[in-house]
Chain A
Amino acid sequence: MQIEFMHQPGNTAARIALRPGETLTAEAGAMIAMSGHLGVSTSTHKKGKGGLLKAAKRLFAGESFFLNHFSAEREAGEVWLGSALAGDMMQYELDRQTLIVESGAFVACAHQVDIDVGWQGFKNLLSGESLFWLKLSGQGPVILNAFGSIYPIEVDGEYIVDTGHIVAFNETLDFSLTKAGKSWVSSMLGGEGLVCKFRGRGTVWCQSHNPKSFGKSFGSSLKPRRA
């Protein structure tokens, strides 16, 4: 499986070349073009890995209930994937580790990667991120997308990421919700509110822009929705 990104970071598309026998699993709606001879199947789960329960959990995580599987059976082929929001994409090679992914950031993965929904505790209710996170584990490539550019931060000790900016992080990291700086009053007045403090050793990938902040910058000029 060869993955290549184009038009980064503004309007990124991923081109995935599949060798015979390889299958790519992608979020429903992500495919923008593909070779005509690829087999496509839609399921609520990875074959032989969980079932409706996992799909229902994924729905909670803000992801689609369905996943599409693109398989190159006898002949090689390619799939192009895009995302709804303008922004960057990244690839991560899982090698028997676990990556925690902000729901909504998931685009696709190799068929053999396991997708599960993780619970990061009630702190997520307040964090402005979604309550559930995807847990990708196993072996193979993973493709994620974001609103804005993606930049990695190597954490060794502690690092602060504003809520709404997390794309994914290694399972070796843990985060808690806290204040920016030393004082709560200051953090609230300064408009940063709650921030996520990561602890441990690993990488956290951040998206440069916050979809909510962008929404706020022009949302009030949009006409109200008819009830």
Chain B
Amino acid sequence: MKSVIKGGDAFAFVEIELEKDEAVIAESDAMSSMAADLDVQARLNGGFFAAILRRFLVGETLFVNYFSNNTVGTKRLTLVQATPGSVRCLELKRETFYLQPGAFLACTEGVTVGVKFAGFVSWIAREGLFKTVVSGTGKVWYGAYGALLERDLDGETIVDTSHLVAYSPGISLKLQLAGGIFSSFFGGEGLVTRVTGKGKIVIQTRSLSGLVSWLNPKLP
């Protein structure tokens, strides 16, 4: 399987070349184009119960699509997320990684996608009460609105609410005011997330909630 992420940071999309008998699992409606002889099957993601959980807790769709190549040749598949922005590929080797609701795009077989309680801190920080857990061995594609910044963390850092996209299991979240009472409420930052631990964190440079609060006052 060969895969390339094209389109830069603004409009990233994933081009995958599926060899014979290879398959990719993608979020619903992620397919932008594909070879006509690839097989597509809608599947409940990770069994009925897990799929229901994913649907209602992280707002992912009930079904995911299973694209498989049952021909002899190499077939192309193009996947994209709904929002403009960056897409990253994560190579898991018997590892686990956490994704924010909506960030998951696709994965190879061998990766399990589940749901985990993220805690009330995460919820108040507008990162969702639950998070998507990807684990196993294989590739995972995820993305966000805006470009993605990756940081290796050992210690702590502060991230604005609704900007954290993904983090490794060694990371924990705490909520705090951005500064003093005055600067927190008038400086436009309000609450921020204090991220502590050792591992990788991924931050998006824009947020949909930011776009919405910019648009709303301008609507007629």
Contact = CB atoms under 8 A, between A and B. Distances in A.
B63 A148 contact: no
A120 interface: no
A27 interface: no
A102 to B, nearest CB: 14
Contact of B13 (A153, A195, A208): A208
Interface string B40-84: 111000000000000000000111110000000000001010111
B216 A223 contact: yes
Given A190-B65, A221-B209, A159 B36 contact: yes
Interface string A135-168: 0000000000000110101000111111001000
B10 interface: yes
B100 to A, nearest CB: 13
Nearest to B27: A191
Contacts of B209: 221
B219 A223 contact: yes
Given A9-B8, A181-B40, A191-B63, A217 B215 contact: no
Interface in B1-58: 6-13, 15, 28-29, 31-42
Contacts of B84: 86, 148, 209, 214
B32 A190 contact: no
Interface string A1-35: 00000000111000000000000000000000000
Interface string B177-215: 000000000000000000000000000000011011001
Given A9-B7, A208-B13, A217 B82 contact: yes
Given A86-B84, A151-B78, A180-B40, A160 B11 contact: no
A221 B82 contact: no
Interface of A: 9-11, 86-88, 148-149, 151, 153, 157-162, 165, 180-183, 185-192, 195, 197, 206, 208-210, 213-214, 216-218, 221-223, 225-226
